Structure 1
Amino acid sequence: MVVDACVKWTEALEVKNMIAEQMLERQKAYSVENMLEILYELPGMLERWILEDEDGDYDDELGLFDTVRDIGARYQRSLDTVQRKLDVLSALLKFTEDTLRPQEGEFAGVNPVLRNDYRYWPYFRDCIGALDGTHVQDPTMNVLAICNFDMKFIYAYLGVPGRAHDTMVLTHCARDEASFLHPPPVKYFLVDSGYPTRTAYLGPHRSMRYHLRQFARGGPPVSARELFNRNHSGLRSVIERKF
């Protein structure tokens, strides 16, 4: 088991190094499209990353369809085409586990965005990022993502079919996803009013102005809670801009 794990990790590093080298050569911006293009060109690498189980099912990994045949029938593509696309997706999913995460020691200090802005310092000194959710279509799936104040995603999750409530998606990730990014003690993420305020997740005051455009139209804050909401909204907007 230990030997197998070491082999898998070595292969992961090989993929990451090869992608990094090709990105440097092409001087392209990081994107999913560029990543897929490069992965397709890695000879013999994808075959070692296939996550298909013994029955040929991908439902455990993708949560969308039961078999490759179902996907081919839905999108009118050959089984070979579907298989190749899933091979690439499987490799990409494994790659993101090693990429979409905080840098070592990132949460030990205070982000300069907070320290250098009087609106946020020292009030949000223990904040380490913003969390939000969205949906993708066909089929409808829920996305939950976390980014830091350098506008870098440090966690992303795609799952929970249908239009689930934000709280349900967050609860599922925090309880059932082993890779979920739990804030360290005393640290927290900013969330909007779609999530409950609880330990490690700080939301705005409800039943009063919150969004920046409301203050732009209606004038400056008239209470301490409105002032908090305006600054909270300004800081949390990093995740909205990132989406």
Structure 2
Amino acid sequence: MSLHVVGHNQRFRVIHNTFRRSTETISRYFQQVLYAVGELKDEMIKPPSNNTPPKIKNSYRWFPCFRVSRAMYAAFCGRKYYTSQNVLAAVDFDMRFTYVLDGWEGSSHDASILSDSLSRPDGLQIHDGKFYLGDAGYA
């Protein structure tokens, strides 16, 4: 029941109809599973690191994309008081970069970056109507 709630973003009322259990029972078991997952946090969940991954840091091709000069630090300082920037990257199914647009402040809106990328002559090209868009935040 807990996996169904989380996996399908369902309310307890829907789970109540599906599994024929009271919402109180569903809530109780959901809390127990949530507690058990919380107990595993030290063993299974690793907090994100602010260190640059070696694959990027040791690459002459990609590391310059992630540097922020001291003169531009204020523009790239995000709401959490560390530098951040928005990067639009397109990758193929083998996780090889096919296009990277960097240099946007962390507070820039995703739609602005996508619009800029599509308007450039050497920008992001969409072939065969296949376009996959993902979003993640990184320091």
For the aligned pair, the TM-score class normalised by the smaller chain equals 0.3 to 0.5
TM-score relative to the length of structure 1: 0.24
TM-score normalised by structure 2 residue count: 0.38
